[in-house]
Amino acid sequence: MGRLKLQSGIKAIEEEPEECESTSSNKATLACMINSEVGAVLAVMRRNVRWGGRYMSGDDQLEHSLIQSLKALRKQIFSWQHQWHAINPAVYLQPFLDVIRSDETGAPITGVALSSVYKILTLDILCLNTVNVEDAMHLVVDAVTSCRFEVTDPASEELVLMKILQVLLACMKSKVSVMLSNQHVCTIVNTCFRIVHQAATKSELLQRIARHAMHELVRCIFSHLPDVGNTEHALVNRGSSVKLEGIGHDTEYSFGNKQLENGNGGSEYDGQPSSVGFASNSSTGLVASVLDENTIGAGNGKEATPYDLHLMTEPYGVPCMVEIFHFLCSLLNVVEHMEMGPRSNAIAFDEDVPLFALGLINSAIELGGPSIRRHPRLLSLIQDELFRNLMQFGLSMSPLILSMVCSIVLNLYQHLRTELKLQLEAFFSCVILRLAQSRYGASYQQQEVAMEALVDFCRQKTFMVEMYANLDCDITCSNVFEDLANLLSKSAFPVNCPLSAMHILALDGLIAVIQGMAERIGNGSLGSEQSPVNLEEYTPFWMVKCDNYSDPSVWVPFVCRRKYIKRRLMIGADHFNRDPKKGLEFLQGTHLLPEKLDPQSVACFFRYTAGLDKNLVGDFLGNHDEFCVQVLHEFAGTFDFQDMNLDTALRLFLETFRLPGESQKIQRVLEAFSERYYEQSPQILANKDAALLLSYSLIMLNTDQHNVQVKKKMTEDDFIRNNRHINGGNDLPRDFLTELYHSICKNEIRTTPEQGSGFPEMTPSCWIDLMQKSKKTAQFIVADSRAFLDHDMFAIMSGPTIAAISVVFDHAEHEEVYQTCIDGFLAVAKISACHHLEDVLDDLVVSLCKFTTLLNRSSVEEPVLAFGDDSKARMATVTVFTIANRYGDYIRTGWRNILDCILRLHKLGLLPARVASDAADDSELSADPGQGKPITNSLSSAHMPSIGTPRRSSGLMGRFSQLLSLDTEEPRSQPTEQQLAAHQRTLQTIQKCHIDSIFTESKFLQSDSLLQLARALIWAAGRPQKGNSSPKDEDTAVFCLELLIAITLNNRDRIKLLWQDVYEHISNIVQSTVMPCALVEKAVFGLLRICQRLLPYKENLADELLRSLQLVLKLNARVADAYCEQITQEVSRLVKANATHIRCQMGWRTITSLLSITARHPEASEAGFDALLFIMSDGAHLLPANYVLCVDVARQFAESRVGQAERSVRALDLMSGSVVCLSQWAREAKEAMAEEEISKMYQDIGEMWLRLVQGLRKVCLDQREEVRNHALVSLQRCLSGVEGFQLPHSLWLQCFDMVIFTMLDDLLDIAQGHSQKDYRNMEGTLSLAMKLLSKVFLQLLNELAQLTTFCKLWLGVLSRMEKYMKVKVKGKRTEKLPELVPELLKNTLLVMKARGVLVQRSALGGDSLWELTWLHANNIAPSLQSEVFPDLQGLEQKKDETGKSLVSDETGSAPSNETVA
């Protein structure tokens, strides 16, 4: 079919190549077909006496022209030489059309002729290339619409009417329909509508066929609209409604009110007419519009500007569509003034005509679609006339009409919403919001239809966003989004009644909105929540403009700013209503009004702010104060009274505030109004005084007519008389005053705002105002699929939404409703998480947890079975854990409720046995205390079932006994199938929950959420009380602690975040427990495990982690004793795994403190010594930081008699072997350090060495001979193994005093004083001690000889040798020592002689060393002197002479030497 285009204002046809001949027949076939049609018409005519008789009469009588033309056609058709498309169609159509036009033919003949034309039209004989096809089509339309025939019976008449419809429809559906003019298309529609109207008195079948044909026509015509080019330039007086030229209003088919009301369509069949016809007597024979001027509606008369006649004869396009659409709208106007309230029972009329018209309008909009906006006249019909009628019919009592109105508005929203911003706002405010609630008098059917319509709108993905952006964020519009969201949530609430279809419907709408938001989340712009709006300075809020409505980066901040301003204005209005002065001050403080108030800003605040108290505004505007008067004039200046009737303007003006009561105030207000009105509409009025007087007169008339106290009402004449000579001394036109009078009488001007009117009413004056505003309103913002405003929208509706879904879920009884609610919950969770609304998510979790029934401490005997049978509880449970797993990042306080559910499942034995252990992601299973002996779940093995299911370790199926045995003594019966099925459902539910993932995946949780989870675990575990806790509490506490340790281990990278809370919790447990129990066991080993796992990764936290192990040292003695072995094994593992990570002294102090305790513990000592071996063997992990501590532990192991003596010996070897480390450190220090650091290091090494030898000295006193002797050997090794580093002389003196001499003295005491059963073979020990003394002294002789106190030191050595020489063991003198001591002394003296230390000097005052030596040496062995100094002569003599002085030297000189030192 040709596509319509409009070029230079004229319809052109773009032809598509096509074959004109029918593809299935040749020329002869078509000729035969037309021949048969001629035959059919003639045959029917012959049956009629009139035609048959004339045909049979003699030759003197000519045949009738109709028969002649048919016969002539018959002669021609077979002799045509041309192709069909070259033959003028009028030639073969005209004979049939003549029959149709003739009023002499009867219905049967006309019917057959119509069928013939229909056949020709539908056989594709005509195509766009056919000669004169345009004229032919015009002929067909003219003939059929002017069809006349004699009526013989009703049935045949109806048949002809149906065939007329058939042919007209075929004309429009034909491929050559594009050749029809605008005028002809209007004629076709007009004729069709007449038949529809006439059919009202005919059969049901004709009525239905006629209406169907009308629908098809409208669809056919408007389906061309998208193909029509822009017609702006081709229209005369664009924007006005249209009339065709040459319309005769005297026709019987121009159906005005009267004809329609009495049901008489003007058919001439009522009497005994000669014929039925469809033509008027006017030259065009057609009526384009079926309504009188009077019925078009107020205000339209002046707009009925006709199209140019030339345009109406063009190929059809927009002009006829405008005409038809205007006609359809005018069908609604017919009933405009009829009572539409609940008392109206004329449903047949009330429903039928509007419903028919609305259906046609809907079809036109569906097919015209977005193309309508390209044609201003069509668009303006929709914006004004159609929408005004839709607003009215929207409040119809008929659900059918309401439903159709809603469908039309939905279509308009889809296609034209950018042009219908304020109209849509009005529809939702005045119709949907009003009808969807029962409290405003709507019937249940109305409520249901309105709610269904609203839900349909909600299912449009961007509807709510656009309502929010365009209306809620516009200061001059109402909060439609907020109102609709509140309506849906309230309507979903069943209040004191069972759940109904309405509740579910509202819920569907609510969830559709929420799911729309959820779907937008992945589409970008998330997290780009607008930074908070802050008005730094005053800008006139009513003048805020957006630069680019198509760029989200521009309009999103703009609407957010506008919404902020609107909210502030609402708060300001609230303040103003309490105290006007404070209200204005508040707005100045928020920069919405200037610091110095100006009249315009205050006037705009009054004009554009909703929610102001109209009484206060009226008082303010009527005030005599100069500023208030200025505000009043600025306020009047905000109105647009252009081309508006005076009463309409006055109504609009007085609807915005309450007219004050005082006459002076009224005068001031009306003066301002009159001035503005005259300025904009001076047509009739001479001056502004005339406007003022007439306005006053209207107010008085209004009071007179509508005040019940006025008994005698003013008449029209009275009103006109009262207004004489007011128009500059002249009278106003009587018609003008009459119109005003009747307008006021019919429709009161409300000077006081109605109390309690919940919703605005769309009065005519309000509609006019809306149309004025729509010219100036901000552009409509079209939202896309990104979540620009969802954060703010969701914040508004989240609370009521969660509450509504929860209440429905609570009341629901069907699975599909449950599922709907669950989908809603999950969508709410997704949005809350993605927009970081943690409070909302917490509320949702709290709400859902209640439905799991797990928090109900009910007295159900078999809770697991009850849970298995409750599908609502199971769905809620799965949903809670789905949310926890998916959106855990944004849960805060909600973790407590989730944990309550987990604990309940734990108590019922429904958790997998190792939720906590698995949660630790435990690759190092060896870290578990009590290997293979995990702390059991809440039910003991006594609860295990005896049914045939395989036993699992303390979880899931293994817990079925919970239902069956319950510790009863006699065995219970086997479970029924229902019980097994319920239990199976329970298990499947728990598996779907993936509870363990909450903890295993905790490493991915955001920090805030993780911290809240940990605190929730601590809270759920409860604070341990001093003394025993009940087993029930302990089980919960143990389980929580397991989970806490698990998430701690899983979050080693964030240990700092958790550590303080975890440590305090474990500390409370450790310090409050006085008896061994599972809880303290889990606490201690958990702490060790944390340290063990985290030390390698957290060196900066190592000190803190190790310091925490001091808690173990604070354990109650009984508790510590019970777990000592396992604790030691753990410490040993910790040391072996992490020795390199322990650097500070504090950490080592804790470790060594733990190890030292084990030295004397029978079970633990082996593991403790094992750890010590690991640290000290070969100095592998000895450090300056731990050296002294480790040596001390080794000493304790050496002294301990718990193990065999062999272990003590190994401990001594560790001590002596550690000297190598000291040498190594000294060497490294020398190579790497600065001078100052070296000396400091040497000093430290010296102190370490001294502590080492002091430790060994203590072990030298051990009761066990083997240990004692080995300690001496080790001590000797340590004293002689210091070549690697220089020890200061003072340190050696300390060593002799504190270590060697002290040890010798102590051994001597033991040998002499203690019983021999404790100390065996002391003689051997004493011998070793003597050898040690000699060897060390000689090794250090060179250094010691330099000291001034050498003499005193040497005296100490000699005196010990002398004592040992004389010692008695068991009261007897020893055998070995008397031999050993002289030999050692001799050896010592020889070395001293060789090194020049012991030489006889003849100095003044004598040689004290020499004398001192021999004084003692002679006591030990008198012959020593001669053996050591054989060449010395006269020694005896000299000795005799100086004996006395030497003695005095020994007692007196030594101190003097000491003083010198």
Active site residues: 662
Size of the chain, expressed as the number of residues it contains = 1461
Residue whose token pair is 């005296």: 1355
Residue 447 identity (one-letter amino acid): Q
Amino acid sitting at position 877: T
**Residue type for position 553:** S
Closest by CA position to 324, among listed 424, 223, 428, 176: 223
Strands 276-277 and 3-7, how do they pair?
unpaired
HSE, CB side, 13 Å, CA atoms: give it for residue 812.
28
- Torsional sign, CA 113, 119, 125, 130: positive
Integer Rg of the chain from CA? 57
Dump the DSSP string for 712-734: SPPPHHHHHHHTTTTBTTBPPPH
Q: What are phi and psi of 155, to 5 degrees?
A: -60, -45
Distances (CA, A) of 466 to 83, 358, 517, 557: 60, 26, 13, 15
Q: Is the CB of residue 1284 less than 8 Å from the CB of residue 1224?
A: yes
Distance, in Å, from the CA atom of 1454 to the CA atom of 1459, rounded to the nearest integer, reads 9
The CB-based long-range contact list for 713-718 (8 Å cut-off, 24+ gap) reads: 716/741, 716/742
Beta strands in 1370-1417 (DSSP E): 1372-1373
Contact partners, residue 528, CB within 8 Å, separation at least 6:
none
Of residues 417, 400, 420, the one with CA closest to residue 358: 400
Q: Quote the tokens at residue 59.
A: 């030759």
For 1221, half-sphere exposure in the C-beta direction (CA atoms, 13 angstrom radius) is 26
Classify residue 1162 by burial, with Cβ atoms within 10 Å: 0-12, 13-18, 19+.
Answer: exposed
State the Cα–Cα distance between residues 979 and 971, nearest whole angstrom: 17
Alpha helices by DSSP H, listed for 813-892, are: 815-834, 838-851, 863-869, 871-887
The two tokens of residue 591 are 């920069």
Name 24's Cβ contacts closer than 8 Å, sequence gap at least 6: none
Q: Which residues are within 8 A (CB) of 768 and not within 5 positions of it... i.e. 6 or more apart?
A: 644, 648, 652
Please tell me the distance from the alpha carbon of residue 1038 to that of residue 1082, in angstroms, as a whole number. Answer: 7
Listed residue (766, 831, 826) closest to 794, CA to CA: 831
Contact 914, 1042 (CB under 8 A): no
Helix 580-589 × helix 599-608 angle, to 10°: 100
187: left (phi over 0), alpha (psi -120 to 50) or beta: alpha
Q: What share of the chain is helix, strand, coil (3-state, %, to 5)?
A: 65, 0, 30
Cα–Cα–Cα angle for 1228, 1231, 1235, nearest 5°?
105
SS3 annotation, 426-475: HHHHHHHHHHCCHHHCCCHHHHHHHHHHHHHHHCCCCHHHHHHHHHHCCC
318-333 vs 182-198: helix crossing angle, rounded to 10: 30
